[in-house]
Structure 1
């Protein structure tokens, strides 16, 4: 049966609970333990699938088709454990489940209350898969004191009481602000945060304190005394040059040892951190630099493309180069008469996914620039579709090529539909049917799907196989009926769904590196196992940099 580690936050949000959870999971793995990480989010959305990237950042997608918080991406990148639908839940999902049960009569007419019905639903969620791993790490979103988070805090308090003594511990992440005027780290906000947590009935076993500098012994002793934890369980978490230093930094501070001590596991297995030492060495001892332009529509918030940014870093790790990603708003390319000054000087161009027509003409122009100027190009999801539209317009001569999605937004047909809404497809042995009028969260092709690559293609060479599985998140597909004419004009369909109906990869033979993919390869990339597409894309950018 798994031991549970609950990670909570206080003082301010965005302190890095997800990163701390992921790094702790990696450290426990390094000691030979199996782990699974979960996220409990207090917001009332059922999931982040319909939330704007400006609101919540990236939507991370699992193999089984769940749309989840971006922290699950951190979990996967640090542990290599593929997240599942049962690893993410929101207040909206919890309340939805409770209300569905009430409507079915499962509660036999009883009055439905937060305690015990909502808290029991949360505890049932926590129990999924508890016999599969040694440690279950559960991060609670938000900060202690948030009104919407109270049912989750009460649930994990009850859960700790329900389990045998020593089966659950609590790690609390807080901020130690530095007062420049007095030259001090202030412990009072952390003391108040722990007081708030204790008022709920939860006593932290380990304190992780974000700070701009090391915690002096005097402040460490004060935190231990007033927060009722051992001095060695007060862990400093300073800013790092790279997030991938976190496992080594937390190990140096003694986080994993403090956790094992709290569980009274002794003697603890020694950790093997060699793969993290190699990752950090490759980052800090890069042998060059490449510049990649990311042409997207959500560039004001970099978390909207978090997995892409990290996958590019992983590609740099694979090639021992630093990748300097620069964000270009695709709407700027919509209106500029000459886009060359905005795109020249980059060693590669990446066009990511997105929804809606805004900024798409800029993405099409970016694909055109990369194709004509022989600049390495990676188009992901909508980025692939816009590359196909560009080829249809400028190679095939369909000057009005476009997407059914854009016509639906405008309420009138303006384009030849090279991109169309797929209403039926196979998922294993099941036929899935969708209508455009369905709920937003139910109209997409979500999760892992297989694809067959054309033997001898660039894609097959990169993957070193002709059979792959990748994660999807999109509503519209490239129309396969245009395949023959597009291939005659120079755009090769090098990856298709097993039934041959759905284009998955396109490429341009003879181009230094021009590939579009309908799926999201960034979701499966890890620092110690870079995705082959990103590793080869950065290699091509590296080769391009030598030509400049």
Structure 2
């Protein structure tokens, strides 16, 4: 979890709410406890000395989930961007809040969409725009698609109420490109009046299929300058990732102050994904210790990769029984498609199947 060093009390105090929200989600919804690892984002900068950088990266790699909370100012910006890239590429569960939301979008713009890949300053100027007026207080977030993790976590509600405190917004000009490349903005805010109320025409924005969602977003992004309302991207989710989620608002626990608070849905999703990540890492460790006592004839003759070995239909039952995505050769991409068994001998394939079956029985 991204944060400055634990020894300095002022830093941990400033993110006490993040710990509180995480603990509530863990205890009430996931029946587990959270151990927090604090990392100074400045320690991930390229200019940092080698020992400090490696220590910070080690903590990042050991984590099961990452939170990048809101912040003011630019210190550590490069480190935050690097954290976003790490979580996206390594498929680490990630929750970006406020600045963490904005950096998640900017990192995607740079490294996936090719928007000013060599300049953080220019990509920020291009992807974000300053509204010149803070969007503060509680506002309505509108879900645009049912194909959303947070839509499910919020109880399949079309509208939710969350708190904003931001002045910079995602430039809608680039949103269709981001969606096309896999970063979906599943929740938005639209203020049509000074008091933040929405018109009746905004009640039916939900699309029940992918084509309808894309069409809705295209139309909203094309018309935002003409109709004058503020179009605010509020939630993003990355496709083909266990949990890479960003929210521009500040998630909160629901409650009336008299009864126990209900956990915040974005944190529930993060904790559940982190538990799954923990299971995967333990599975990888377990498999490395398995001694199958196989005869030499079935040992693989060369490095075997997922692209050459594993058809999804053969292993999906095994993996669902006890996840082991990294088993016997790090099968990072098995879930994306069915692979043909090209250039693999029967002995090599049987070796892989035997290894997976042995793990299934552990």
Q: Aligning the two structures, in what range does the TM-score lie when normalised by the shorter sequence?
A: 0.5 to 0.7
1:296–1:350 CA distance, 2 compared to 1 (3 A): farther
Partner residue in 2 for 1:343: 60
Query: Structure 2 residue aligned with 1:472, among 164, 168, 177?
Result: 164
Q: Shift of the alpha carbon at 1:331? A: 0.7
**CA 402–386 in structure 1, closer or farther in 2 if over 3 Å, else same:** farther
Which consecutive residues of structure 2, in runs of 5 or more, have no partner in the other structure? 192-219, 221-230, 282-362
Question: How far did 1:296 drift?
Answer: 5.6
Aligned partners of 2:33, 2:177: CA distance in 1, in Å? 39
1:505 is matched with which residue?
235
Q: State the Cα distance separating 1:455 from its structure 2 match.
A: 2.0
Name the count of aligned residue pairs: 229
Deviation at 1:489, TM superposition (A): 1.4
Q: How does 1:422-437 map to 2 (within 5 A)?
A: 422-423=131-132, 434=133
Matched with 2:149 is 458
Cα deviation for residue 524 of structure 1 reads: 4.9
1:419 matched to 2:128? The reply is yes
Which residue of structure 1 aligns with residue 340 of structure 2?
none
Contact 2:68 2:97 (8 Å CA) reproduced: yes
The one of 271, 274, 277 aligned to 1:541: 274
Structure 1's 383 and 346: CA in aligned 2 closer, same or farther, altered over 3 A? same
| 1:372 pairs with one of 81, 89, 100 | 89
1:297–1:352 distance in 2 versus 1, CA, 3 Å:
farther
CA displacement at 1:509 relative to structure 2: 1.6
**Which of 441, 445, 448 is the matching residue for 2:135?**
445
After TM superposition, the score normalised by the length of structure 2 is 0.58
Report how far residue 399 of structure 1 moved: 2.8
Task: Find 2:70's aligned residue among 346, 353, 358.
Answer: 353
Distance 2:170 2:7 in 1: 25
CA contact (8 A) 1:299 1:328 kept: no
Q: Distance in 1 between matches of 2:6 and 2:116?
A: 27
Question: 2: CA distance between counterparts of 1:528 and 1:497?
Answer: 25
Residue-by-residue CA offset, 1:218-258 (whole Å, 9 max, x unaligned): xxxxxxxxxxxxxxxxxxxxxxxxxxxxxxxxxxxxxxxxx
**Superposition deviation, residue 518 in structure 1:** 0.2
Which residue is equivalent to 1:323? 34
User: Cα deviation per residue 1:362-412 (whole Å; 9 max; x = unaligned)?
Assistant: 111111100000100000000000000100000001135878xxx6xxxxx
Distance 1:524 1:395 in 2: 36
In terms of mean alpha carbon deviation, does 336-345 or 308-317 score higher? Answer: 336-345
2:15 is paired with a residue of what secondary structure?
A: helix
Computed over aligned residues only, the root mean square deviation of the Cα atoms, in angstroms, reads 2.5
Counterpart secondary structure, 1:366: helix
Secondary structure in structure 1 of the residue aligned to 2:75: coil
Asked whether the 8 Å contact 1:299–1:329 carries over to 2, the reply is no
The residue aligned with 1:383 is 100
State the TM-score, normalized to the length of structure 1.
Answer: 0.39
Shift of the 298–401 alpha-carbon distance from structure 1 to 2, 3 Å rule, reads farther
Greater fraction of residues in strand: 1
